[in-house]
Every structure is written in structure tokens, then in C-alpha cells.
Amino acid sequence: MATFLHLHAATNTTVYDILERNNIPQGFIPKGVKSYTLRPLESHLEARLGVGHCDLTFVAVGGKRFKFRFAHTFGGVIGYGALREVYGVSVQAEKGFAWVRISKVLRDAGAGDQLIILGEQEFDEYFPTSDFTVRPACSSIIGN
């Protein structure tokens, strides 16, 4: 089975379109991206929010709560079904737990279609991709 990388960006293409074309659900990143840069030769994608840092609260299967934090500028190396070398995105597994920097986001289309989020400190969590179909709004905004 061939895997294709879709990195061409037309002038009216959004960062959400780039994610979808590469099999990453657009709901992984919040509403409010004002601009982005795509460097196809390096497969590098960088997005900028119109606000400062953005926190998203997410409840996973089993009622376990996760909070995601997106810096004003975030990005990584995009490939079909993967976002690697991620920067500017952190996750907090439960209230009071330390923030962990996310390093990779992988889509596993088998076994129930999961979005696998990997981070530092041996963090790995599996989420149904159906939980990322809608672009979430920030639950809090920190600075500018």
C-alpha cells in the first residue's frame, strides 16, 4: 500500500486542510489559527494562533481528563498520518500532574482508528480519532 504526502498549499488552503490531507484530524489543533507556514522540502508545518497560549480541556475514554496547551507558535514535521518533532504543544494528564511536552502524534487507522499522542517522560495515550473531528475552542487563553 502506497503512502502519499500531501504538502501543496494553495493560497486559500488552511492549516486545518493541511492536517486533513495528511490524515491527521483537524480537531487536534484549536480554533483560532491566524496564519501558518508550510515548507514542503522539509515537510515542516508551523502555525500561529491569534491569541497567546491556548488551553483545551479534553475528557478521554473512561472519564480521564486531559488538558492540552498550545503555545502561540507551534508545529512539527508533517507526514501522512504523523506529526513528528512537535514543538509548542504540551499535555497534562490529570489536574495537578506535571505538563509533558508532546513529541509525536500518530494516526493508527487499524484497531479502532486511534490518534496516538507520544510525549516526553514515557507519556503515550491513545484517543479515538472521532474525538478530534471538531476544532475545539480554547478553554483559557494565557497572555499574548
- Whether 74 and 105 have beta carbons less than 8 Å apart is answered as no
- Whether 47 and 38 have beta carbons less than 8 Å apart is answered as no
Find the angle CA(28)-CA(119)-CA(95) to the nearest 5 degrees: 75
Name the grid cell of 16: 486545518
H/E segment holding residue 68: strand 65-79
63-113 pLDDT tens trace: 788 999 999 999 999 999 999 999 999 999 877 788 999 999 999 977 678
DSSP 8-class letter at 62: G
- Whether 89 and 74 have beta carbons less than 8 Å apart is answered as yes
Confidence of residue 1 (pLDDT cuts 50, 70, 90): very low
4-46 pLDDT tens trace: 344 444 568 999 999 999 999 999 999 999 999 999 999 999 9
**Distance, CA of 141 to CA of 134 (rounded, Å):** 19
